[in-house]
Amino acid sequence: MLKTRARIKTARRNGSRAKERKVESMSMMGIVLLILMAALEIGLVIFAGRGTPDRKDWRKDRLIVRAAQILIAVVAILLPFGMKWRIVPVITLLVVMAIITAIAILTKRNKEEGLKRRSGIIVSCVLSIALIGGALMPACIFTGYNGLPVSGDYGICQTSAILIDESREDPFEQDGSFREVPVHFYYPETAADSTEKFPLVIFSHGAFGYYQSNYSTYAELASNGYVVAALDHPHHAFVAKDSKGKTIIVNRDFLNEVMAEDSDSDAETKYEIYKKWMTLRIGDMGFALDEIEAAADAGAIDSSWYVSGSKDQEDALLEMLGMTDTSSIGLMGHSMGGATSVALGRTRDDVGAVIDMDGTMLSEYTGVKDGKLTVCEDPYDCPVLEFRSWPHYNEVVKFSEEGTVYPNTELMKNASEGYVIGLRGTGHMDLTDLPLLSPLLGRMFGSGERDKAEVMEIVNTESLEFFNHYLKGEGEFSPQSVY
């Protein structure tokens, strides 16, 4: 059995690596396209710079370059790199620019006499590169990533709603608006007459993250028989939408607080900031859990559920709630979302297992004494799994050697069932799908040198086995301490 499981893991990991190579190739193709098109523009300047062309010849040369650029873009679409929609805006731009040039050649402007100034040639080149670069930006930044291979037999369905908490005002709004929590569901596709019930897992993203930060994790769990609810925390999320359709971006003050979190602020200031963050997050996750439980048990949604779509969306929500087993609940999150999950796992009896993905357990700070943050020493009764990126893993080891009190270490010492997995060669964002979606953004926010798909394959596999053991009572859970 163990050998079979190992073979399955190896096969999936190889598939994930192949997919990472493919999505990296897609991003690289965008950069190659930009270089080729810019080279054509620069070549045109050099060619024209050998003399002083008249306007007619310049426009003809410009049209030839446009045709070559369009051909390159079409070839990029035909190649098996999945460029497709990300190159269409580029082709559209080039075609429009080519049409404008052709019209100039065919109309009376073709009869104009005079020479094309070199300054005009250079300006045309610079503007063209800028326009093409802007159109190619999504292809250079994003890979077209749409998830990793899953191991489960279920298809994956999706739906969403916005939960409105009338017991809380949103502290970021100035008009007394109630706090809203968008929830995005991923759940197994089953037969219409199925009576199967599946455990519920709620996911919370990190600071200025977004609900799809761990899509591959949701897909892996849903394909294996879990209902996953991924939350947005408006104003903490990079971007979210409210019930009025308004787009909400990350709050600037919150962003500044997070960026300054490692500064030399005194312990009292840090504690008050941590408490503020956790109060909002715990309120969001706890409210979402209460609403999902109540709706699943009642088989109906109430006025707290805002559904923006058609009746089909409401039917999908009821279908999802009908298969949700509220007696088997897990929580998980990345970074600040992991801290939120740990906090609820300590206080709620209905939570059966918790996963923290590289999050400092901020809720475990209890106050300040002698100018230092104090940490909770009470037993932690909920089974907990903690993933640590390699810098975080080594930092915690250093804290232990120095005798520094650190909340994650203390909680694990006091946990009835606690597991820590260190991931070599990783950075903080490698425990999300971001580096697979955008290697550039991944590097900006913290990514290691290790194969990104392999890391997420480990995270997703161990998360599934952890929840299988504690929420479904299946198999054993005995992970390595370091992968």
> Average pLDDT of each block of 10 consecutive residues along the chain (483 residues)?
45 51 60 86 82 75 87 77 62 78 68 67 86 79 86 97 97 94 98 94 96 97 98 97 95 93 82 97 98 97 90 94 98 98 97 98 96 95 98 92 91 97 98 94 93 96 98 96 96
Q: Say if residues 194 and 142 touch (Cβ distance below 8 Å).
A: no
Neighbouring C-alpha atoms within 13 Å toward the C-beta of 145: 32
Residue 430: the pLDDT is 98
In the numeric block, which tokens belong to residue 205? Answer: 């993203």
Q: Say if residues 335 and 427 touch (Cβ distance below 8 Å).
A: no
| CA-closest candidate to residue 228, choices 149, 320, 311, 154 | 320
Residue 70: the pLDDT is 85
Residue 125: the pLDDT is 86
Residue 100: the pLDDT is 78
Domains annotated for the chain, with CATH where assigned, are: 2-141 (no CATH), 155-471 (3.40.50.1820)
Beta bridge partners of 198: 324
Residue 232: the pLDDT is 98
| CA-closest candidate to residue 320, choices 180, 190, 153 | 190
Nearest-angstrom CA–CA distance, 304 and 179: 11
Q: Say if residues 93 and 133 touch (Cβ distance below 8 Å).
A: no
Residue 290: the pLDDT is 98
Residue 114: the pLDDT is 64
